[in-house]
Structure formats: structure tokens, C-alpha cells
Structure 1
């Protein structure tokens, strides 16, 4: 797959949309009970796969196919994102922002807190 071209601003805009839809206080809980973020959720008993955690939601809305996200399951955002998106000169900041958001989320904090962590990086 060719990497999706994005800007850090686009990623932040989409992350804000996702958080607004879920609610700032939304706390992600993996469906498996493993306590691990999943970029893609596969419903038990069939049905279509859907984006899962905040980073998975954002990258999918930016155009990364679910099957591509699934191939990178269990990788940290800082490892996975550079393989799927091309942010040009803003790549390092973008990867740090996604990684920070994922770390906040995986620490059991709200998506609003994860968004603020990403905003801090990209607004610096």
C-alpha cells in the first residue's frame, strides 16, 4: 500500500472530530479484555470489522484501510504510523503526537486527555 499523504493539521482535525463524536470523557476499553489497544475490532460472531482505538479511528478516517491497520496490530503508534502515513517534514512531530495520544489512552485516560496530549505536541 502506498502511504497516505497527510499533514499534522489534518490528523489533529480528524482526531478532534473523533473525540467530539465519542465525547471528551470517553474512555476506550478494548473488546478482548486483554487491556491492549486494538486498531481494528473484529466483532464476535461475524460482521464487518470497525476501527477501534483513537489512533485506529483517526488513521482509518484519513484513508488507511482496515486491513492495513490490522496488519500492524500490536505495534506502537510510533512504529506503525510511519509505515502508513506520509506527513513530509512534519512526520516526526506527527508520530510523537500519535504515540503520546495512544499512551494516554492506553493508560486508561479519556480521549479528551489523549487529544490534549497530541495538541501539545503539534502546537509547539
Structure 2
């Protein structure tokens, strides 16, 4: 079985190109509109029943039944990245993470194959390519956000002193260049249990 050297960046770029070509609102065609876009239940891949949960139900294809065009988002992205259509045809019925694992060497990180599976799931649920590519990047992002080193700091309750006359303070946003105006820190007082709660800040 041939394998192909495709990096994460190359696969993601191919995915984006397919989305740009088809449009964010593209959805997988209905079986009545494009029968060649579905696997023939009579010629079903052995894993298709497991993938769909029901034997004999048509499934989305990586390549059209006539073998001339890529169909689903993942099939189109893999073809764009350099995998021939006839190779993809031999893997109909496999889920996205499985086909990436079989055809790409060295293997992609689990986060990428999981992200491809999430994009495929969104598409197969009848959602748009916008939804599919959003699902793809959501999985990647979640995999790369480091877990907090310790427990979240306990919030300290504060109240705004109504007698304070200090001018408002402009606070810089630590995540970017934007800023916002808020009360001066000198106007904030520790809140007691009988104070009306005006806000909370991390100590």
C-alpha cells in the first residue's frame, strides 16, 4: 500500500483550499441530487456497517462512484495534498482518522487526525463546510491549550465604594492592544457578606 509524506501544514492548507473553492455554505449533496456521491449499499465496504451503525445504508464517499472527482471534504483535501483518486477509492468506508493514519507517513499527530474526524462528522451530519472547518480548528485548538498548572485562584469579592471620587482608570487588555475603562482600583473595597455584590476579581 502506498503512503504519502504530507505534513500537518500541507494537509490544513489543502483543507482550506477546498473550502475556499467550494464555499463556506457548501454541504454534501443529497443522494437524490448526486447518486454518485454515495457508496452503493450492494458494494459496501466491510467497515461501513460499523461506521454507520446500520448495514446497507449508503455512506458519503471520498471519491465519486465514477472515480473522476473527489467528493467529501477529507477526500478532496487529501487529493489536493497529492494522493491520487484511485488510492482513495480503495479506502472507501474508512473514517477520516483511519484513512489519514494509513496513507500518511510519517504519521500526523493525533490532534490532526482527531480534527479531521470532527470535520468529517460535521459534514456527514449535513452541516456546512464552515461548520466542518470550525470543528477541525476547534479540536486543534483544544489540544494545544495547556492545562492549568494548579487549581483556579479563589475569587475575592469586592464592592465599589459609592463615596469614592477618583477618576476611572483605563485598563490595558493583556491579550492584545485594546483597552477598557473601569473604576479606579482605589475605589474597590473588600466586600463583606452583608454588602451588595458589585463584582469579583481574582486576588
Q: Same fold (TM over 0.5)?
A: yes
Equivalent in 74, 77, 80 of residue 58 of structure 1 = 77
Q: TM-score, normalised by structure 1?
A: 0.85
After TM superposition, which residue ranges in structure 1, 4 or more long, deviate above 3 angstroms?
Answer: none
Q: RMSD over aligned Cα, in angstroms?
A: 1.9
**How far 1:14 moved relative to its partner?**
1.2
Equivalent in 106, 113, 116 of residue 124 of structure 2 = 106
Could you say which residue in structure 2 is the equivalent of 1:18?
18
* Range moving further from structure 2, 55-64 or 26-35: 26-35
Q: 1:23-42 CA distances to partner (integer Å, 9 max, x unpaired)?
A: 10111125326652100003
Unaligned runs of 5+ in 2: 39-56, 145-203
Matched, 1:91 2:114: no
Give the number of aligned pairs.
Answer: 119
Equivalent in 133, 136, 143 of residue 115 of structure 1 = 133
For residues 15 and 81 of structure 2, the distance between their equivalents in structure 1, rounded to whole angstroms, comes to: 10
Q: 1:58-97 CA distances to partner (integer Å, 9 max, x unpaired)?
A: 0011111111100110111122211111354x43112111
SS of alignment partner, residue 4 of structure 1: coil
Matched, 1:75 2:94: yes
| Higher helix residue share | 1
**How far 1:7 moved relative to its partner?**
1.9
For residues 134 and 58 of structure 2, the distance between their equivalents in structure 1, rounded to whole angstroms, comes to: 22
The structure showing larger relative contact order (alpha-carbon pairs under 8 Å, at least 6 residues apart) is 1
Matched, 1:40 2:59: no
Distance 1:35 1:116, change over 3 A: farther
For residues 54 and 71 of structure 1, the distance between their equivalents in structure 2, rounded to whole angstroms, comes to: 17
Are 1:87 and 1:94, in contact at CA under 8 Å, matched by a contact in 2?
no
For residues 2 and 59 of structure 2, the distance between their equivalents in structure 1, rounded to whole angstroms, comes to: 27
